[in-house]
Structure 1
Amino acid sequence: MSMLNAMRQKSAKAERSCVAPGEAGCDPVSDEANGPRRDTESTGSGLLQAVLTRENLRQAWKRVKANKGAAGVDGLDIDQTARHLVTAWPTIRDQLLLGTYRPKPVRRVTIPKPDGGERELGIPTVTDRLIQQALLQVLQPILDPTFSEHSYGFRPGRRAHDAILAAQGYIQSGRRIVVDVDLEKFFDRVNHDILIDRLRKRIDDAGIIRLIRAYLNSGILRDGVVLERYQGTPQGGPLSPLLANVLLDEVDKVLEQHGHCFARYADDCNVYVRSRKAGERVMALLRKCYGKLRLKVNEAKSAVASVTGRKFLGYSFWFAKEGVKRRVANKPMATFKQRVRQLTRRSGGRSMAEVIERLKPYLLGWKAYFGLAQTPGVWRTLDEWLRHRLRAIQLKHWKRGSTIYRELANLGATEHVAKRVAGNSHCWWRNSNGDIKRVLTIAYFDKLGVPRLS
């Protein structure tokens, strides 16, 4: 029996036996922080039952499975969790309806950021990712329409590119000063009580609120020790971005009331104004707004500055004759080159096909995000630099002058070119930018499946 079949089999019985709105609950939990409970005044069973419907769970499982991801603290991956839930889900479902379910702690991991640096994630168990995803699918259609039009992060039909284009439009309209505020460890500093208060103003559902409180209070496993958590909503769970938008929407609404032009993606917000004096006033306003939410502005990384001196979501802006243009900011460009060097090391002992196989997904992903940059000359330069590195790998793989001569001849090189390249067989880097370019051409690398950036 599959996990989803087990959910279906239990569904009708569980839905008949659950307590209806206004009826007395079973074994109420006295401490709200420990998890959700059902109480006699609760109006929350409606939304909670919507979360646990067969179709919603089916869609949630489909999304969790598609996202793959690592195991949580229980050590169970996707397939193992599916087998576990065949027998465990009916009990978990009853606990969710009765308010006795306890989420497991999240597992703390560190991943590299796209533009350099590192980001800490909290990985829930696959079971908790399923429940959070089911919650998200019910809550997002309710909450998302209430959010600011200037908010772009983790919202249906919106993406980072939309925020970047909006920022470019504000700059083009003459707003050449940006108020760039960096929040210090935002996801780790979210105040639970303030967040729950803002949620209650939008969702009149005690069961849902208490379940979210339970997730906020679940501990963190670090170095084999479970640490209690009194603040923060760790990145890594499906629900965290929605909760972040609930909290930060309050600041968005204040900026809207003052008529400001801004773009926010998650905790990354830039406000565009026409003068430095206006920028300082906005900065003071933002400090006040974030202070009310118990969030801390990182003064070292925040500034009121010219738009050309700051980056937004990995992009920076420059002024051309035709108007404002987009380009990849310096830091993510340096990170890109460093990663390509790692993937194309000549000392790796890998064949050309193996190098391309590892390189291809990184190039495609990077191009998909940074392809919005309006710098065709930069793309052509990067393409040539990349092919230069790949030609050097091929020369090292061939090693001997006789092998180089034979392989180039097989690829259609003239005798003159093949001899010149083969005669300098040990200077791989210098040799890879000379006559060999006539043979290992752009079309050659296209045929091998190397993506072009230009």
Structure 2
Amino acid sequence: MAKQYVRKKEEVLQTTVTSIRHNEYYNMQKMFDELYEKSSKNESFESLMPIILSKENILLAYRNIKTNGGSITPGTDKISIKDLKSLSSEEIIENVRHIVTGKRGYNPRAVRRKDIPKPNGETRPLGIPCMWDRLIQQCIKQVMEPICEAKFSNHSYGFRPGRSTENAIAELEKYNVYSNLHYVIEFDIKGFFDNVDHKKLIKQIWALGIHDKQLIYVIKQILSAPIMLPNGEKIRPLKGTPQGGIISPLLANIVLNELDHWIESQWENNPVAYKYSVRMNKNGSENKGSGYRAMKKTKLKEMYIVRYADDFRIVCRNKKDSVNIKIAVTKWLKDRLNLDISEEKTKIVNIEKQYCDFLGFKIGLKHKRGKFVTESHVADKNLARETEKLKKQIKRIAHPADDKDAATQTYRYNSMVMGMQNYYQHASHVNKDFAIVAWKINDLLLHELKPSRQKGRLARKGRELTPMEKERYGKSKTIRYDSMTGIPIYPIGYVQTKAPSNFKRGKTPYTEEGRKMMHKDLSINTTLMHELMKQTVHGSIEYADNRISLFSAQHGKCAITGVEFRDVNEIHCHHKIPKSQGGTDEYQNLMLVLNEVHILLHATSNETIQKYSELLQLDPKQKVKLNKYRKLIGLETI
């Protein structure tokens, strides 16, 4: 599986809630809700292109792409999002429509092929479309996603709004512990993204109820877009969907959604189960216990799938069933989807005796007080890889260009530590695994930051910890500081395990109730905080350090609107008194605001003021706050 796509719960919620806010800005949320509802009722869609090419959807797509870190990467035409920023809204809308509906029809430019190194020494091909084609793909994705979400299986977690690796791990462990399904089949599809059958995919899109022929034509063109190799040669693909395309993850889920439902039909949704009484559980799921008890007396094989993108596991009751299921699934994938399984990497695991690897974790069972409980660790390869990453970063801290670079490298190290702890905390034995990492890392820190011939940089005291740092690392006896900058160096070994949470049925961005569930799950965004830390320090170290402190003090919210930050690119740091007027980078002179709020704080033209006032829809209290700070910089109130 493409491991760079693996996302944790906080990151997924952050992205999803940002998307919801953007949808509401451009009045598209109601439309997406309607598409989801109609798809839930199995209605078909014959006229989606007018929605895709609507003014609101195009501007929403531009906004979503603009907040995506990858938008600065140019395609074969050398254009990035920066080049589009100089265009007016009308020019962007007109250009998108012309590219898609012009006389010559839609012909995407060549996709730039870039080979990304994998931990095992091999490379993963990444396909980077041109910026205008990315924008068009985003327009399509926004409209197709609610339709597909209504049809996707509950056992699929990758690339889906509100779902995460944490939920996938929780479901697998639930089957292992509570359902006593101790045989796990680890499947590996050979080069999945490179081998997607185009004709089959188009049929699957049609089967989902997407019957707009113009849209189908555009998707065909996207799939067959030429690929420019690193040597400049162009090839036209006959199969596959390039990793790197905005719409590729959605298309991948469409392909494997058929597998999910086929597995469900073998047991979970087998017609036999519905011949008996079915009750509703509190979470909205169906309780088919009576039917399942009857089915266990037949020759039907009990099985469940847990899938994250092309990485999936099937759990079953015993060795005999697992052997037969492995053969059946391998044959089904070949016959139905024209996909091959890697026999070397596909295996059957009895997790009472061995660990099953899934999404960077190794999961097993152990006996405790007469019953089985989960015993999970960080997977061996992942532990080794993460250790090497931290070692390399410590060497960058030890040899900085100057004080500012030392701060940048320390913040990046801290963001790596937080990211690793946030992701792997769902392993039951993460503290033991990271204790091993800490032993190696601390030894290197002592060696690199405390050389014998000069004053050591590793200190026991430094700047005051932010509220978030105090809560997380305040009681640690192993936290140290870089005396060069005063910045704390987060202890990798100071981590507590946290049980993975199950996905809540009904949680979706496309219903009112589902959105409420998403907002309820949000807490102060540590993922976003470590994204802030990764950024290169611009301005003084004091400025960079105070941004981190402000994020914590403001509880990750905009100082004017109170809206939670959900993307690092929307966080702007405002000087209450500008530096040009004698202002400083001191904590008291700074506040974090949304980028649109920052524009409105400094806006002088009536056109800009009107545009962003309409966009933000500030209430009276928020306007008072805004005008207070406009006065401080010598501007008129709004």
TM-score (norm 2): 0.56
Structure 1 runs not aligned, ≥5 long:
1-42, 413-439
> Which residue of the other structure, out of 338, 359, 376, is the alignment partner of 1:294?
338
| Equivalent position SS for 1:270 | strand
- Bigger CA drift: 309-318 or 358-367? 358-367
Report the Cα distance in structure 2 between the residues aligned to 1:270 and 1:244, rounded to whole angstroms. 17
Identity %: 30
| Aligned residues of 1:263 and 1:270 also touching (Cα < 8 A) | yes
* Displacement of 1:301: 0.7
Deviations 1:122-151 (A, max 9, x none): 111121111111111100101111111111
Report the Cα distance in structure 2 between the residues aligned to 1:112 and 1:371, rounded to whole angstroms. 26
Residue 154 of structure 1 corresponds to which residue in structure 2?
Answer: 159
Structure with the larger helix share? 1
Cα 1:263–1:114 shift into 2, 3 Å: farther
Report the Cα distance in structure 2 between the residues aligned to 1:297 and 1:279, rounded to whole angstroms. 16
Deviations 1:371-412 (A, max 9, x none): 21122222334334323322222113xx426x45xx79x979
| Equivalent position SS for 1:83 | coil
Within a 5 Å distance, the mapping from 1:161-172 to structure 2 comes to 161-172=166-177
Residue 74 of structure 2 corresponds to which residue in structure 1?
Answer: 71
Query: Highest CA radius of gyration, 1 or 2?
Result: 1
Could you tell me which amino acid in structure 1 is paired with residue 65 of structure 2? Answer: V
- Bigger CA drift: 230-239 or 442-451? 442-451
Report the Cα distance in structure 2 between the residues aligned to 1:79 and 1:390, rounded to whole angstroms. 39
> Which residue of the other structure, out of 320, 335, 351, is the alignment partner of 2:385?
335
1:96 matched to 2:104: no
| Aligned residues of 1:182 and 1:297 also touching (Cα < 8 A) | yes
Question: CA RMSD, aligned part only?
Answer: 2.7
Report the Cα distance in structure 2 between the residues aligned to 1:103 and 1:364, rounded to whole angstroms. 40
* Displacement of 1:92: 3.8
Residue 303 of structure 1 corresponds to which residue in structure 2?
Answer: 347
> Which residue of the other structure, out of 420, 442, 446, is the alignment partner of 1:391?
446
| Aligned residues of 2:53 and 2:139 also touching (Cα < 8 A) | yes
1:400 matched to 2:453: yes
> Which residue of the other structure, out of 376, 387, 399, is the alignment partner of 1:349?
399
| Aligned residues of 2:184 and 2:316 also touching (Cα < 8 A) | yes
- Bigger CA drift: 74-83 or 150-159? 74-83
Could you tell me which amino acid in structure 1 is paired with residue 416 of structure 2? Answer: Y
* Displacement of 1:327: 1.5
> Which residue of the other structure, out of 314, 322, 325, is the alignment partner of 2:360?
314
Within a 5 Å distance, the mapping from 1:52-451 to structure 2 comes to 52-69=53-70, 70-83=73-86, 87=91, 90-97=94-101, 100-112=105-117, 118-172=123-177, 173-202=179-208, 203-222=210-229, 223-259=231-267, 260-291=303-334, 292-307=336-351, 308-322=354-368, 323-345=373-395, 349-350=399-400, 353=407, 355-375=409-429, 376-396=431-451, 399-400=452-453, 403-404=455-456, 442-445=478-481, 448-451=487-490
Deviations 1:79-101 (A, max 9, x none): 11333687575244134235712
Cα 1:112–1:361 shift into 2, 3 Å: farther
Residue 17 of structure 1 corresponds to which residue in structure 2?
Answer: none
* Displacement of 1:366: 2.3
Could you tell me which amino acid in structure 2 is paired with residue 80 of structure 1? Answer: D
Cα 1:353–1:337 shift into 2, 3 Å: same
Cα 1:115–1:134 shift into 2, 3 Å: farther
| Aligned residues of 1:102 and 1:214 also touching (Cα < 8 A) | yes
Could you tell me which amino acid in structure 1 is paired with residue 399 of structure 2? Answer: G
Cα 1:64–1:268 shift into 2, 3 Å: same
Cα 1:285–1:102 shift into 2, 3 Å: same
Deviations 1:216-260 (A, max 9, x none): 000111121111111000111111111111111111111001122
| Aligned residues of 2:55 and 2:93 also touching (Cα < 8 A) | no
| Aligned residues of 1:44 and 1:207 also touching (Cα < 8 A) | no
Deviations 1:328-349 (A, max 9, x none): 1111111111222222238963
Equivalenced residue count is 379
Structure 2 runs not aligned, ≥5 long:
1-43, 268-302, 462-475, 496-638
Cα 1:370–1:115 shift into 2, 3 Å: farther
* Displacement of 1:112: 4.4
Report the Cα distance in structure 1 between the residues aligned to 2:197 and 2:74, rounded to whole angstroms. 27
* Displacement of 1:274: 1.7
